[in-house]
Amino acid sequence: MWIGAVSLFPEMFNAVTDYGITGRAVRDGLLTFNAWNPRDFTHDRHRTVDDRPYGGGPGMLMKIQPLRDAIHAARESAPGKACVVYLSPQGERLDQAGVESLASNESLILVAGRYEGVDERLIASEVDREVSLGDFVLSGGELAAMSVIDAVTRLIPGALGHAQSAEQDSFADGLLDCPHYTRPEVYEGQAVPDVLLGGHHDQIRRWRLQQSLRRTLERRPDLLEKRVFTEEERQLLDEILNEPGA
Ligand SMILES: CN(C)c1cccc(CNc2ccc(C(N)=O)cn2)c1
């Protein structure tokens, strides 16, 4: 997969290109990443990338021309037709399904805004999808863009060790993850659930599935509303709902 970023702070992206699963994906050639800095596309002596908003108001906006030229340079470098994504609090809320749809593109160009955002005409003329990670404001779109890079990279075949990708599927099927335990067997008087020590793989699978259902029901019932349950899941849910005090 090819990902480009347009950002005033391109070095920030070293956090994903140089570390962990995303760093390995770059080293293994599964992910190609490049960054373009709008400041390199300015033509004035002061390399101006921002300007005051028409109509007044606090803060500055990113100017159209440096951003546009940086995006076009990224487009020329991208294989195939790139999907241009602008990270902003005004975007469509991103969830795992949205990550999967972003990951289906051959090339992505992630535009990280700074200041109070960008001129609306840049969005209208250059941006394919405006995306928000959640209802909160960051000082720039870079951390949101890096989160997108991490989430889509995990979906590239081979990016996760084989074992992890199997586990990841279970989580990505719309339920919250079950509790996990590792040594010591007893910690401050709290023991690891017996079923996990028994080595009965199907009992462990069922226990984990029921724990995921229970946790999702308790913390995020909204995720269950639109979910189609397997017969087994319905049985496990019924057990939970018929528990004393449920
Ligand atoms: C209006 N405004 C402050 C603004 C407008 C555009 C970009 C930015 C850059 N900051 C971001 C970006 C994304 C997110 C998110 N929730 O995905 C949060 N913050 C800020």
Does the annotation count 89 as an active-site position?
Answer: yes
pTM for this prediction? 0.96
Residue 166 has pLDDT above 50, yes or no: no
**Binding site listing:** 113, 133-138
Mean pLDDT, the chain, whole residue set = 96
pLDDT for the residue 172: 66
In this predicted model, what pLDDT tens digit does every residue of 37-70 receive, in sequence order?
999 999 999 999 999 999 999 999 999 999 999 9
Encoding tokens for residue 80? 């195939």
- The protein residue whose alpha carbon is closest to atom 2 in ligand 1 is 116
Which of 174, 206, 23 shows the shortest CA–CA distance to 96? Answer: 174
Helix (H) or strand (E) holding 102: helix 96-103
In this predicted model, what pLDDT tens digit does every residue of 176-212 receive, in sequence order?
999 999 999 999 999 999 999 999 999 999 999 999 9
Does the annotation count 215 as an active-site position?
Answer: no
**Binding site listing for S-adenosyl-L-methionine:** 113, 133-138
Which of 196, 207, 215 shows the shortest CA–CA distance to 232? Answer: 207
From the CA of 72, how far away is ligand 1's center (Å)?
A: 22
Does the annotation count 188 as an active-site position?
Answer: no
Which ligand 1 atom minimizes the distance to the CA of 139? 10
Does the annotation count 119 as an active-site position?
Answer: no
- String of DSSP letters for 30-90: S-EEEEE-GGGG--STT---EEPPTT--SS-EE-HHHHHHHHHHHHHHSSSPPEEEEEEEE
For the chain, the 3-state helix, strand and coil shares in percent, each to the nearest 5, are 45, 15, 40
Dihedral, CA atoms, 137, 140, 146, 151, nearest 10 degrees?
30
